[in-house]
Structure 1
Amino acid sequence: MKKNNWKERLNVVYSTNPDYHYETENEEEESTLMPSQQKLRVQLDRKNRGGKVVTLVTGFIGTEDDLKELGKLLKSKCGVGGSAKDGEIIVQGDFKQKVVDLLKKEGYTQTKPVG
């Protein structure tokens, strides 16, 4: 029996070719690099934040779950809120040196403060 799943060809309107095979995009989630291989940048940022200062950690390569886990650790150690998405961690407040020290303690050896 032929597999005829309409969800796989949602954006294709019509094909006259009887041998046409619908191609689906399979996104492969990238694996997380070891902490010693991560090149993280820690900087202070206040753009588009209403004048409030946040500590921004960028350059994380890995899964979204690992990013959120690291963000949760940093936020809890600093005792503040923030977010972790799109390869960057935002920690509310000026915790640049504390975040760098925490990252080095966790094994992120190539961490460097910027600015």
Structure 2
Amino acid sequence: MRKIKLRFANRQRIAMSHDNNSRLVYSTDGGMIKESAPAQSASPFPADGVVRIRRETKGRKGAGVISIHGVPADQQKALATLLKKKCGTGGGLKEGVIEIQGDKRDPIRAELEKAGFQVKLVGG
């Protein structure tokens, strides 16, 4: 019983100290709110006209995917469809990046060079 009384007494002291030292402040004024910085481009690659091909496995449970960066926006959908048909695999277009399933870097590179793009293999 003694411990319980002490714990309760401590709570009262803490509660009293908060009441004595604190004031409730409410303001509808925005105050010193800083504007957020403009969002930067999501792509880690520069927009220099070079199409970059890299193999990714992170976040895919070990399954390899070829990601293609740097393709002009007006050609992405048609090129993704063409590459999927040429490689005979699945894939898609996500956030301006063409993804082709499997390790098909060589056929993709050949097809892109045939279409007139300057191609660079990135990574290992």
What is the TM-score of this pair, normalised by structure 1? 0.61
Q: Which runs of 4+ in 1 moved over 4 A?
A: none
Residue ranges of structure 2 left out of the alignment (5+ in a row): 1-47
**Are 1:87 and 2:109 an aligned pair?**
no
Give the deviation of 1:45 after TM superposition. Answer: 0.5
How many residue pairs are counted as aligned between the two chains? 76
**RMSD of equivalent CA atoms:** 1.4
Which of 26, 36, 39 is matched with 2:50 structurally?
Answer: 39
1:74 corresponds to: 83
Residue ranges of structure 1 left out of the alignment (5+ in a row): 1-36
SS of equivalent residue, structure 2 residue 73: coil
Letter in 2 for 1:79: G
* Equivalent residues in 2 for 1:97-112, closer than 5 Å: 97-108=106-117, 110-112=118-120
Give the deviation of 1:54 after TM superposition. Answer: 0.8
What is the TM-score of this pair, normalised by structure 2? 0.57
SS of equivalent residue, structure 1 residue 97: helix
2:122 corresponds to: 114
**More helix, by proportion:** 2
Q: Relative CO higher for 1 or 2, CA cutoff 8 Å, sep ≥ 6?
A: 1
